[in-house]
Amino acid sequence: MTRSTCPYCGVGCGVILTPVANGIRVKGDPEHPANLGRLCSKGTALGETVGLSGRLTAPLVKGVETDWDAALDLVAARFRDTIAGHGPDSVAFYLSGQMLTEDYYVANKLMKGFIGSANVDTNSRLCMASTVAGHTRAFGADTVPGTYEDLDQADLVVLVGSNLAWCHPVLWQRVEAARAARGTKIVVIDPRRSVTADAADLHLPLSPGADVALFNRLLVAIADRGLTDAAYLARIEGADAAIAAARADLAETGVAPALLDRFIDLWCATPRVVTVFSQGVNQSTSGTDKVNAILNCHLATGRIGRPGMGPFSVTGQPNAMGGREVGGLANQLACHLALENPDHRQAVGRFWNATRMADRPGLKAVDLFRAAGDGRIKALWIIHTNPAVTLPEADAVRAAIAGCDFVVVSDVTGATDTARLAHVLLPAAAWAEKSGTVTNSDRTISRQRQVIAAPGQARPDWWMLAQVARRMGFSGFDWSGPAAIFREHAALSGIAGRFGRDFDISGKARISDAGYDVMDPFRWPFSAHRQGGRFFADGQFFTPDRRGRMVAVTSRPPAAMPSEKRPLRLNTGRIRDQWHTMTRTNRAARLNRHLGEPFIDLHPADALQLGVAPFGLAEVTSDHGSAILRVVLSDRVGRGQAFAPMHWSGETAPTGRVDALVPGALDPISGQPELKAATVSVAPFPAR
């Protein structure tokens, strides 16, 4: 019996794993603080996903099996030669929130401290980059103020752009338990009537992209009703400007006035309110402003960092937060230090004995693949992610990868759309075959532990990265295992603490290998001075003057607007039983029984007008690509709107790649793409 962590979503549930003859038996860990024994359908089926079919078990160079020495020598030589010929910014790493923190740490150290570029970004850019930017603007650092216990203690939970019941099911179970125990009210703000909205006390079907307008209305009501917290606001800059901007924001919310008033009355009358937000907020060209519109309301009322109160971003991936801790985004350094700050760069560089520190932000995900497409990036290493399916304008991304001079992919399978384009394929250990840590949405760091042997030559990611670093001639990459990397990471976090940053786990910097093996989940910060808990109730922030910021924001519509040619607004998202591009969940037969093929939800009146039949096929076309999807008539979407899940790939449904439809329009601050507001046309398939 081994305690570990579920590798799917950002809830970070603890699991108890027992190897059995045909896989692994999985139970929820009753002692893990994230789930207290609960699991969802995906977590319960984890044991059925560990089979060996389709596994990559040896390094491949241009499809020919080779050994590790030959593959690693080739990767190191090609990266070294490319840098020598074209400079450090001609190479890039594209990482994943599926990676363990130790793996992430090594990739960032290599790229930012030794190669000398910050071209290291991650698929977490698609997940929570707008929250990182919004937190940083308001708090001075990317810090989640609250904890999961706040969901248990709230009297009102507002879910914005979050289908919590399907996408973070165990958190939803916690909210439902709070409702049963203390009568917690639930409000869902989402253009789509999701399954979560079905169960809510109030559903506000706002117009796509109208989140800023809605929270600005709330902020004005807070001000007009005298509900601002004067004592708390004495610690906040920008309140007057933010309220003035909210008053001037006259954009329509799309919500009936009486319904909006009910929400505002409820919010204003309920001190213990947690506002949970997720991809519907983040995946937008105004995602950062949406985040700050939400934070403004909590800062104005001092409802933050106290039991049952606060804004709460829930991350999509199991280790999106861990990636943020080590600087896994192209605009971050490590331990929440700033790449642009020379003092921070010097401190980290000295700690690493870095030979060539990056001194400016690198390319963010969408721009990184554009650079691969136009020849600026000439060597690219993609780890545990499938950008040929998941990035916007996915057809162009696929062409960019295919045209890049040298592409390395490390993954557990060589059968993804992206892996098929690689020059070098490196066999990676899967989640149950490797050890390290992950950090969930409420800053709890948990161990992921190896329970079964990796097949063939498969190895952990940190090992591959360290081997390449050593072969490129760099020192400081000779760890004995993940515990040694964790100790280095924890020690570096103490430096962040000295700069007044929030991320500090230096209390764990001297942990032994044996201690790391048995390390229980803990929430950061974990230093001599502070352990776990909430932030900002004391009015102390991470800005230079230690004061918080309300940010003046006004509404902007999505980048693409419906037209005669593309009349429908397409929202993309997840379904209950699949994860990302299904490389793992597709292996569990019971998960495929839920919703088994790519589909599009259309309003019945729109379907009638478009001439598409229920359960027939439709060709969905945007300016960037097309997909053939099953038509589902649904009153969950409004007139002029549509919804399609993003899971299917060239491997599982070659014509069902929904992100091929999505434009690469970006939030100007966070670089996060607008994955929920494409415009499309829909026609019967085959054409009549």
Q: How many Å apart are CA 408 and CA 56, to the nearest integer?
A: 14
Identify the residue among 3, 9, 349, 650 touching ligand SF4 (CB under 6 A): 9
276 interacts with ligand SF4 by CB under 6 A: no
Choice between 171 and 490, CB closer to ligand SF4: 171
Choice between 186 and 333, CB closer to ligand SF4: 186
**Inter-CA distances, 461 with 5, 324, 436, 456, Å:** 18, 18, 11, 15
148 interacts with ligand SF4 by CB under 6 A: no
**Which of 655, 601, 603 minimizes the C-alpha distance to 631?**
601
Buried b (16+ CB within 10 A) or exposed e, 310-321: bbbbbbbbbbbb
Choice between 168 and 603, CB closer to ligand SF4: 168
Q: Tell me how far, at minimum, the Cβ of 9 lies from ligand SF4, in Å.
A: 3
The residues, ordered by sequence, that sit 6+ positions from 332 with a Cβ below 8 Å of its Cβ are 132, 324, 338, 339
Q: Tell me how far, at minimum, the Cβ of 172 lies from ligand SF4, in Å.
A: 8
- Measured in degrees and rounded to the nearest 5, phi and psi for residue 682 equal -130, 130
Q: Tell me how far, at minimum, the Cβ of 39 lies from ligand SF4, in Å.
A: 4
Q: How many Å apart are CA 620 and CA 606, to the nearest integer?
A: 13
**Stretch binding ligand SF4 (CB under 6 A), from 32-40, 497-505, 597-605, 676-684:** 32-40
The residue count of the chain comes to: 688
Residue 23: beta bridge partners? 20
| Residues between 161 and 190 that touch ligand SF4 (CB under 6 A) | 168-170
How big is the site for ligand SF4, counted in residues (CB under 6 A)?
14
246 interacts with ligand SF4 by CB under 6 A: no
Q: Tell me how far, at minimum, the Cβ of 32 lies from ligand SF4, in Å.
A: 10
314 interacts with ligand SF4 by CB under 6 A: no
Q: How many Å apart are CA 642 and CA 619, to the nearest integer?
A: 13
Choice between 29 and 393, CB closer to ligand SF4: 29
40 interacts with ligand SF4 by CB under 6 A: yes
Structure tokens that stand for 633 in this block: 């008539």
584 interacts with ligand SF4 by CB under 6 A: no
Identify the residue among 12, 280, 322, 327 touching ligand SF4 (CB under 6 A): 12
11 interacts with ligand SF4 by CB under 6 A: yes
Residue 2: beta bridge partners? 17
Q: What are the helix (H) ranges across 473-627? A: 482-498, 513-517, 589-592, 604-610
8 interacts with ligand SF4 by CB under 6 A: yes
Choice between 6 and 71, CB closer to ligand SF4: 6
42 interacts with ligand SF4 by CB under 6 A: yes
Q: Tell me how far, at minimum, the Cβ of 106 lies from ligand SF4, in Å.
A: 24
Angle between helices 365-373 and 394-403 (to 10 degrees): 50
The single residue listed with the structure tokens 């109208």 is 210
Sheet holding 120-122, edge to edge: 64-65, 60-61, 424-427, 406-411, 379-383, 91-95, 120-122
Query: Cα 610 to the chain's mean position, in Å?
Result: 35
Q: Tell me how far, at minimum, the Cβ of 277 lies from ligand SF4, in Å.
A: 17
Identify the residue among 17, 24, 36, 39 touching ligand SF4 (CB under 6 A): 39
Query: Cα 447 to the chain's mean position, in Å?
Result: 19
13 interacts with ligand SF4 by CB under 6 A: yes
43 interacts with ligand SF4 by CB under 6 A: yes
- Residues near ligand SF4 (CB under 6 A) are 6, 8-9, 11-13, 35, 39-40, 42-43, 168-170
